[in-house]
Amino acid sequence: MELDNITAGDAAYPGDSFDQVTHEEKDKGPSQVMVNLEQVVEQEKMKELQGQKIGASDKTVPKQESGKKNRKRGRRVDADQDGDKSKKKKQVQRPNYFVSIPITNAQISSVVAEVQESVLEREPRLSKAMIPIPTLHLTLLVAYLADQEQVDLAAAALAQVGPSLARLLEGAELVLPLSGIAHFRNEVVFVALREGAHAGVLRKLADSVHACFEERGLLDGHARGFEPHLTIMKLSRAPKLRSQGIKRVDSSLYSNYASRFFGEQVVERLDLCSMLKKKQRDGYYHTEASLQLGGRRGSEPDEAELKKVSKRLVEDAIYRAVQQYKQETLQNGGAGQPPGDAAK
């Protein structure tokens, strides 16, 4: 037998070793025995080579499994990342509802209108940043309500907080004196609430409403500290102002009213309002539900009074526009005719 003709199959039998040189082989000639020994050696080498190949192939299996595990881990990481993204998306949902105390005192509305007019005389570009008079309110909390079911749940929560607020007020009216003007980063201008016992009661009232909404899971990601204020100007209402170079409301525009007393607002009711739905006929936000807390004082306004204030604002704005037009045309050598009166 030639050594070159021995294959891996010839060395694959179990138990092949040097012990396979039998007594019969010992009786053969030395040359024959040497041939047999060389065959056995060659078989052992072949077995060793085959074993290395098998071992190598065995070692590759864990690597493949490891790769699969890594891929699985990768999928799990991707899934976790997707989960994190969905959580972030859930957290950044902008609020679309709020609970408010509406301003029903005509004196407050009138002074706010006066402030707005004064500011617009000096900076007309801020007109779209002004809060419409019929929508004036103090915000107790904001929330994102995903569907009508959550809106109904919020309405039920507002109704349920009624008894606890009645105990808090003990039959007395909660009167809020509004005085002076302040701002948040010169981007939001508001009328401030005077400090006093009423401020503590108002905060307790807000806490009660907040707790009732939170128990029903309606405030996810929208829990904020309560800072009572009556917003009268807000730059975010007019985003184009930034491109016109107006990034702040100059406090000098309303400095004459920094210590002005605006009036007292009785907390008559709490409203659950939509930020996005069409406003009501009286100009106030679409109201899903209300909780009545007190009666209207005789000196406080009705709907007709609020409309009168709004009408005066419009008339004053038109008058200012006409006067400005006349002044500009006179400076340019024109006849000073108001818009619409020019010769055809």
Task: Give per-residue pLDDT as tens, 228-256.
Answer: 999 999 999 999 999 999 999 999 999 99
Q: Render each residue's pLDDT in the chain as its tens digit; 344 residues.
A: 443 433 333 433 334 433 444 444 444 454 454 445 556 556 666 666 665 555 555 544 444 555 555 555 555 555 555 555 555 555 558 999 999 999 999 999 999 999 999 999 999 999 999 999 999 999 999 999 999 999 999 999 999 999 999 999 999 999 999 999 999 999 999 999 999 999 999 999 999 999 999 999 998 765 667 889 999 999 999 999 999 999 999 999 999 999 999 999 999 999 999 999 999 999 999 999 999 997 554 344 455 555 655 665 666 667 667 777 777 777 776 544 444 444 44
The two structure tokens encoding residue 220: 């996810």
User: CA geometry: angle at 65 spanning 61 and 66, to 5°?
Assistant: 115
- Closest residue by Cα to residue 291 from 133, 163, 136: 163
At 93 the pLDDT is 86
Q: Which of 329, 344, 309 is nearest to 111 (CA)?
A: 309
In angstroms, what CA-CA distances link 340 with 211, 327, 336, 343?
A: 57, 16, 12, 9
Straight-line distance from the first to the last Cα atom of the chain, in angstroms, rounded to the nearest whole number: 124
User: Residue 249 and residue 339: Cα distance in Å, rounded?
Assistant: 30
